[in-house]
């Protein structure tokens, strides 16, 4: 048991901001208003004290990618912890089954392991391969239709907490039903589906959307697409708030429409690294001026 410590600043609580003091050891022990802090002349000079971030979409950091074996995910978790993330889902890329198996075997020993200075690995976000090959985004071209049997096989290697599916693919609406029936969280993503197909997926158990606006059919006033389905019906959705992936106005629209909109980094091996060349699954990405781009000029998060 560590000795209690005290920090002061602007503290984010469930009831809003408090200017004061926070006492903690392994857990928060007390939050109190503090006259000295409340009366600080320069509020902007105060530290911001926030709960740890939970990032449900992490591909990499520190030059390492989750699809690597060995200690890659440990390095990624430590890098994210330095920037305030305390829990994360190790997120895979669309890849051959053998690559996914190798990645999950490396992730499994780390799930729920508590290490000082490291973000906790909650499990796996399986982003692909059950996506639309016509809307890969930055995913490699290994997309294919999925089956409950294959998902169970992968889940037996490392626990899958979240899975991204394109519901318009053959058999995938049934797959959404089957996955949610066994307690898996399903998000809609990398999809060319219609508004109606998105609405049907939500009605059949899908819980939300993967990186809203990106790699999905766009909103048009006569064909609302997946973006329209999300804005009209979703309770939950990811969004990447780096201002490269999504315009600030589109973020504000999503905040008004979706009750539980949450931020993800969708981070790559380039996160926290200088400009240069890095791996994203089997692909090479180039980081420059805060963004990452593939050879075919598809943007990815850098941070």
Report yes or no: 123 and 73 within 8 Å, Cβ to Cβ: no
User: Beta strands of the chain (E only): which ranges?
Assistant: 5-13, 16-24, 28-33, 48-49, 53-58, 60-61, 64-65, 85-92, 120-127, 160-165, 185-188, 208-209, 236-239, 260-263, 276-280, 283-288, 291-293, 299-300
Together in a domain, 71 and 26: no
Known catalytic residues are 266
Q: How far is the C-alpha of 160 from the C-alpha of 122, rounded, in Å? A: 9
Question: What's the whole-number mean pLDDT along residues 192-212?
Answer: 99
Query: pLDDT at position 293, please?
Result: 86
Looking at residue 40, its pLDDT comes to 65
Q: What is the pLDDT of residues 224-255, one digit of tens each?
A: 999 999 999 999 999 999 999 999 999 999 99
Cα(165)–Cα(127) distance, integer angstroms: 8
Report cis status (omega within 30 of 0) of the bond before 129. yes
> 290: which residues sit within 8 A by CB, 6+ positions away?
242, 244, 302, 303
Residue 282 pLDDT level (bands cut at 50, 70, 90) = confident
Kindly report the CATH number assigned to the domain that includes residue 129.
3.20.20.140
Q: Which residues of 35-71 are buried (b: 16+ CB within 10 A; e: fewer)?
A: eebeebeeeeeeeebeeebbbbbbbbbbbbbbbbeee
Q: Are residues 38 and 66 in the same domain?
A: no
Read off the pLDDT of residues 25-34 as tens digits, 9 standing for 90 and up: 888 999 998 8
> What's the mean pLDDT in 179-189?
98
State whether 82 and 45 are in the same domain. Answer: no
Percentage above 70 pLDDT, the chain: 94
Do 156 and 18 share a domain, yes or no?
Answer: no
State whether 145 and 217 are in the same domain: yes
Query: Which structural domain, as residue segments, surrounds residue 42?
Result: 5-49
Answer yes or no: do 31 and 97 share one domain: no
Instruction: Please calculate the CA angle 76-263-298 and round it to the nearest 5 degrees.
Output: 75
- pTM, entire model: 0.91
Same domain, 155 and 23: no
Find the range with the poorest average confidence among 36-40, 64-68, 92-96, 125-129.
Answer: 36-40
Q: Which residue has the higher pLDDT, 205 or 15?
A: 205
List Cβ neighbours of 238 (8 Å cut-off, separation of 6 or more).
56, 57, 187, 208, 209, 210, 211, 212, 262, 263, 264, 266
The total number of structural domains in the chain stands at 2
If asked whether residues 123 and 202 sit together in one domain, one would say yes
**Domain co-membership, 170 together with 115:** yes
Q: Give yes or no: residues 67 and 189 share one domain.
A: yes
Query: Do 19 and 147 fall within a single domain?
Result: no
Which pLDDT band, with edges at 50, 70 and 90, does 303 fall under?
Answer: very low
Number of DSSP helices (H) and strands (E) in the chain, helices first:
8, 18
Query: Do β-strands 185-188 and 160-165 pair in parallel, antiparallel, or remain unpaired?
Result: parallel
291 shares a domain with 259: yes
Tell me what pLDDT residue 27 has: 86
């Amino acid at each position: 048991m560590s000795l209690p410590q005290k920090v002061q600043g602007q503290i984010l609580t469930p009831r809003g901001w408090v200017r004061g003091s926070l006492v903690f050891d392994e857990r928060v022990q007390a939050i109190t208003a503090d006259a000295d802090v409340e009366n600080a002349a320069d509020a902007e000079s105060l530290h911001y004290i926030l709960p740890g971030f939970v990032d449900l979409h992490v591909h990499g950091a520190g030059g390492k990618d989750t699809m690597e074996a060995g200690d890659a995910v440990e390095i990624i978790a430590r890098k994210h912890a330095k920037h305030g993330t305390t829990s994360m889902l190790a997120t895979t890329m669309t890849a051959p089954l053998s690559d996914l198996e190798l990645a999950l075997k490396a992730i499994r020993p780390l799930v729920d392991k508590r290490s000082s200075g490291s973000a906790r690995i909650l499990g796996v976000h399986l982003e692909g391969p059950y996506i639309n090959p016509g809307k890969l985004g930055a995913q490699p071209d290994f997309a294919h239709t999925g089956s409950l049997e294959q998902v169970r096989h992968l889940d037996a290697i490392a626990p899958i907490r979240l899975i991204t599916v394109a519901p318009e693919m053959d058999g995938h609406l049934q797959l959404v039903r089957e996955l949610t029936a066994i307690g898996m969280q399903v998000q809609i993503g990398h999809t060319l589906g219609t508004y109606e197909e998105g609405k049907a997926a939500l009605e059949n158990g899908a819980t939300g959307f993967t990186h809203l606006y990106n790699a999905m059919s766009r909103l048009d006033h006569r064909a609302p697409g997946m973006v329209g389905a999300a804005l009209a019906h979703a309770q939950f959705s990811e969004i990447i708030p780096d201002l490269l992936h999504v315009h600030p106005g589109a973020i504000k629209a999503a905040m008004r429409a979706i009750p539980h909109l949450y931020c993800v980094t969708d981070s790559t091996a380039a996160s926290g690294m200088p400009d240069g060349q890095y791996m994203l699954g089997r692909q090479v990405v180039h980081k420059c001026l805060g963004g990452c781009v593939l050879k075919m000029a598809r943007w990815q998060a850098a941070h």
